[in-house]
Structure 1
Amino acid sequence: MTHPEDQDRTRELPAYLDPRGVDQPTERYRGAAYDPRVDHHRPAADQPTQVYPPAAQQPPAQRSPYQPAAQPPGAYPPGGSPTGGDDVPPRKRKRRGWKIFGSVVLVLVVAIAGFVIYLDTSLNREDILADYDGRPADTPGVTWLLVGSDSREDLTDEQKDELATGDAEGKRTDTIMLLHIPDSDAPPSLISLPRDTLTDIPDYGQQKLNAAFAFGGGSLLAQSVEGLTGLRIDRYAEIGFGGFAGIVDAVGGVEMCLDEPMNDPLAGLDLEAGCQTLNGSQALGYVRTRASANADLDRVQRQREFLSALLSEAASFGTLINPFTSVPLALEVADTLIVDDDVHLWHLASMGLAMGSGDLVTTTVPVAATPTLPEVGSVVQWDDAAATAMFDAIRADEAIPSELITTE
């Protein structure tokens, strides 16, 4: 059945496509959302019976959380670029990363340089190596005079008890060594000079070598050693009881292997045989004790062994990269070491590397006898011919002949 009003309906367009438009929307269309199922040119009775709520009552459309919010014309979406990515091009990101890295490196370099300058200015310098008439001429390489004193300055009563140092006033030298660092390809050498060596001390006549230190400190000792060996001393370093123990503790102790037990109440020493790590107090007793068959000659051998082990540990890679070890160690060295006016921190580093090297030659000056003399006591007399040959080799910046190397 055909509706009368539909006879010409085939020639009509739907209202939403009619270019003539609709004059006034009907009341039931006003404010309603468009529905393609509704034909506004048909009577209401022929329309679908479903009622659509006004647009104002419909819930607002929910935007997907993955759908970006609308942006003003010409604006970039979140991320800063038309594609939604980082607004910094890859080349600029890499350049910014290098700038940050460079800034961090610069800060570290400045901090390390400042710390080195602080340490260098903190060194205890004294005028030790003064010129005098008849001083030996300069020779190739660098020769250090290393001195360990029994100074108890700056030690509290508790520290004196802990280190078993006693209460003696002043300072004497327990350790006298020469370290030669050659300019040639010869190995560095560390030579012990027994403190009881009989020698001529300027203005004091024949005395034990360590008496020079008691009479005139490091300056008179250096002059006496130069006269005894014919070598020119280029650098000087001295450390006391407290400083030595502090450095050992700063590196976490030093491992030593003992062939037999060692016990010396006077040095506060009680060690078992075998390998063990010595702390500062034990290390001090170990290098001080003379409670052995050869007394002072045995002691200088232990001193060389321990000092080499200590400096090898201090210069090790593990110690240097660990700020909890290297920083306290550096501060302890700067605070307790006494050096001559021309010594700087890099000179100490060179000394440490030489003593920690695997090719270091350690020996005692050749000894001929150990007599007891009136008014002087027990002394050490050198083998003059062998000692002269040893120091001639050092003066020429050559390796010490193997037949002159001794550990006794």
Structure 2
Amino acid sequence: MSDDSSGTQGPGDGFRRERSQPLPPESRRSPRSGRVTVPSRAARRRRTGLLLMGVLSVLVLFASGTSWALTGWMSGSLNRFDVFSGLSDGDRPEQTGGLTFLVIGSDSREAVNQEDRNELSVGSTPGQRSDSMMLVRLNHERDRVTVVGIPRDLWVDIPGEGEDKINAAYAYGGPQLAVRTVESVTDVRVDHYVEVDFTGFVDVVDALDGIRVCLPEPVDDPKAHLDMAAGTHRVDGTEALAFARTRATARGDLDRIDRQQQVLSAMLDQALSSETLSDPAKLTAFLDSALSSVTVDSGLDTSTINELAYQMRNLDMGSVTFTQIPIADMNHWTPRGDVALLWDEPASRELFADVRADRPITEPEEEPSPEEGGRPAPDDIRVRVFNGIGTPGLGAQVDTGLTGAGFEVTDPAENWSSSDVPTTEVRYGPGDGTDAAYVAEMIPGSEAVEDDTLDGELQIVIGFNYTEFHAPDTEEAPEPEPEAEPSADDGLATSTARDNICG
């Protein structure tokens, strides 16, 4: 459709759009319908995960110094839809200087013939819904991109519709409601919209002569037609499609987002490191495949694309960071009896606050474990013992054990102010909690208790539950803890496009 809104069709019409002018020379327009026909079976291949093409189109379109000179033709090759006209500024998040794209992969099968549906195992589900979502944030300086994956099964409140999985927003109200829902969940203003349907993905990967992907463990998914051993593989478009869409792994949709980000990184690397961008003919053929299935908002016009392309001409793979919304529960039973995902709200709010403020997205720092150099040394700890149960000689016995273990015992043991202390306490002042926890490990049943009156010295008050002082073994190295299996509460994980490239 053209840039004006006269040809726009609403949600009730299935969100169909006409292609804008000018057309690439290979395309043909049907004299009856006026719609573009697809000339070959290869060009009719479609499947899910194609939001990757939207992100790839955005990044390649804007990140290449050679591509921006062609953006007049590129802009005309894009389909357009008037996404933001029905949204009230008063109900939307404020603008914060950066630029945010909502990229949606639509799973409509209407244009896919039955033979190709069978070949790519896409099924015949009617209607349209958003198969995948990503927020692509370009910072104010235009030198860093953050891509946040949004799981399609995330359980959220859809404005005007109630609680449902986030991908239902598109089915209820098209691009406008999808934008409203994402903005209400993230409190990040969406500036531009990119939608990808079931055209182009296989052709684009093949136009790049394939990509490299890697698996940490084998995957056998008959539904996705994927049987792939662990390791690194060179895949064509059909294989890349199966790799991007399978959910036959432990974390399901979350693993799929990771693989989609890996595929996107591989495609971007292949495009930027090959002759694709330096050869005008190859670039035109590549972008024709990439953009033919992409719909954008009407505000993403030629001048905007030209400006952004120039600003982002020096962007590299290390400047593109991927992450996804932190998940607290992967098996939330909804009121209607199916399973959805619940986000980790505190971690997610922090993530999107960083996105709004254009702060780099980093994984939270972990507290150093004792085995990683944070373990206290006995000769750095000052301690004094008090007998809280009155048993003669007990305090001196503990003194001897502490001294032998290398602790600095500041004074001989004394009686506590009472002789009926039930539980042994390791008392500590502000900032000495790590030392107190270390000492408490050596006295079974003891507990660490903070005492603001103490400063740089621990006090051990022996209680009735005292049995022994177990001196630390300084010769035997501690056994490393086994690596935890991936779970919903692993927290925020990040990677760059360079990190995602298989070696």
TM range (shorter): 0.5 to 0.7
Query: What TM-score results when the alignment is normalised by the length of structure 2?
Result: 0.55
User: Of 173, 181, 189, which aligns to 1:216?
Assistant: 173
User: Of 237, 253, 267, which aligns to 2:194?
Assistant: 237
Offset, 1:242: 2.7
User: Of 274, 278, 288, which aligns to 1:331?
Assistant: 288
| Segment drifting more, 143-152 vs 226-235 | 143-152
Distance between the aligned counterparts of 2:312 and 2:269, measured in 1? Answer: 7
| CA separation of 1:154 and 1:185: change in aligned 2, threshold 3 A | closer
Distance between the aligned counterparts of 1:156 and 1:213, measured in 2? Answer: 23
Contact 1:312-1:352 at 8 Å conserved across structures: no
SS in 2 for 1:136: coil
User: Residue type matched to 1:367 in 2?
Assistant: I
| CA separation of 1:148 and 1:159: change in aligned 2, threshold 3 A | same
| CA separation of 1:316 and 1:142: change in aligned 2, threshold 3 A | farther
SS in 1 for 2:156: strand
Contact 2:133-2:150 at 8 Å conserved across structures: yes
Offset, 1:123: 0.8
User: Of 155, 159, 164, which aligns to 1:207?
Assistant: 164
Offset, 1:188: 2.2
Offset, 1:376: 5.5
Q: Is 1:155 aligned with 2:155? A: no
Distance between the aligned counterparts of 2:168 and 2:181, measured in 1? Answer: 10
| CA separation of 1:161 and 1:167: change in aligned 2, threshold 3 A | same
Unaligned runs of 5+ in 2: 1-66, 365-490, 496-503
User: Of 321, 342, 345, which aligns to 1:381?
Assistant: 342
| Segment drifting more, 272-281 vs 202-211 | 272-281
Distance between the aligned counterparts of 2:266 and 2:300, measured in 1? Answer: 23
Residue 493 (structure 2) aligns with? 406
User: Of 127, 138, 153, which aligns to 1:170?
Assistant: 127
Offset, 1:352: 9.2
Residue 82 (structure 2) aligns with? 127
Contact 2:143-2:314 at 8 Å conserved across structures: no
Query: Cα deviation per residue 1:300-339 (whole Å; 9 max; x = unaligned)?
Result: 1111121122223223352212345322111112311111
SS in 1 for 2:323: strand
Structural mapping, 1:29-108, within 5 Å = none
Unaligned runs of 5+ in 1: 1-111
Offset, 1:155: 2.2
User: Residue type matched to 2:77 in 1?
Assistant: S
Contact 1:192-1:300 at 8 Å conserved across structures: yes
SS in 1 for 2:209: coil
Residue 395 (structure 1) aligns with? 356
Offset, 1:197: 0.8
Structural mapping, 1:180-329, within 5 Å = 180-184=137-141, 187-323=144-280, 325-329=282-286
Residue 360 (structure 1) aligns with? 320
Offset, 1:238: 1.4
SS in 2 for 1:319: coil
Distance between the aligned counterparts of 1:357 and 1:202, measured in 2? Answer: 36
Contact 2:156-2:185 at 8 Å conserved across structures: yes
SS in 2 for 1:294: coil
Structure (1 or 2) with the larger CA radius of gyration: 1
User: Residue type matched to 1:293 in 2?
Assistant: A
Query: Cα deviation per residue 1:231-252 (whole Å; 9 max; x = unaligned)?
Result: 0001111112332222222222
| CA separation of 1:289 and 1:391: change in aligned 2, threshold 3 A | same
| CA separation of 1:153 and 1:316: change in aligned 2, threshold 3 A | farther
User: Residue type matched to 2:135 in 1?
Assistant: L
Distance between the aligned counterparts of 1:350 and 1:368, measured in 2? Answer: 40
Query: Cα deviation per residue 1:121-147 (whole Å; 9 max; x = unaligned)?
Result: 121001123332411111111111111
User: Residue type matched to 2:334 in 1?
Assistant: L
| Segment drifting more, 225-234 vs 158-167 | 158-167
| CA separation of 1:173 and 1:351: change in aligned 2, threshold 3 A | farther
Contact 2:145-2:321 at 8 Å conserved across structures: yes
Aligned pair count? 297
Contact 1:198-1:209 at 8 Å conserved across structures: yes
Offset, 1:401: 4.0
Contact 2:68-2:309 at 8 Å conserved across structures: no
| CA separation of 1:349 and 1:244: change in aligned 2, threshold 3 A | farther
SS in 1 for 2:102: strand
Offset, 1:356: 5.9
Distance between the aligned counterparts of 2:222 and 2:76, measured in 1? Answer: 39
Distance between the aligned counterparts of 1:254 and 1:137, measured in 2? Answer: 39
SS in 2 for 1:189: strand
Distance between the aligned counterparts of 1:198 and 1:354, measured in 2? Answer: 38
Distance between the aligned counterparts of 1:221 and 1:374, measured in 2? Answer: 22
| CA separation of 1:115 and 1:297: change in aligned 2, threshold 3 A | closer
SS in 2 for 1:315: helix
Structural mapping, 1:20-35, within 5 Å = none
Contact 1:251-1:325 at 8 Å conserved across structures: no
Offset, 1:283: 1.5
Offset, 1:351: 11
Distance between the aligned counterparts of 1:229 and 1:197, measured in 2? Answer: 12
Query: What TM-score results when the alignment is normalised by the length of structure 1?
Result: 0.67
Offset, 1:201: 0.6
| Segment drifting more, 378-387 vs 144-153 | 144-153
SS in 2 for 1:143: strand
Residue 117 (structure 1) aligns with? 72
Higher helix share: 1
Contact 1:139-1:395 at 8 Å conserved across structures: yes
Contact 1:197-1:381 at 8 Å conserved across structures: yes
SS in 2 for 1:379: strand
Distance between the aligned counterparts of 1:157 and 1:336, measured in 2? Answer: 19
User: What is the root-mean-square deviation in Å for CA atoms of aligned residues?
Assistant: 2.7
| % same residue | 36
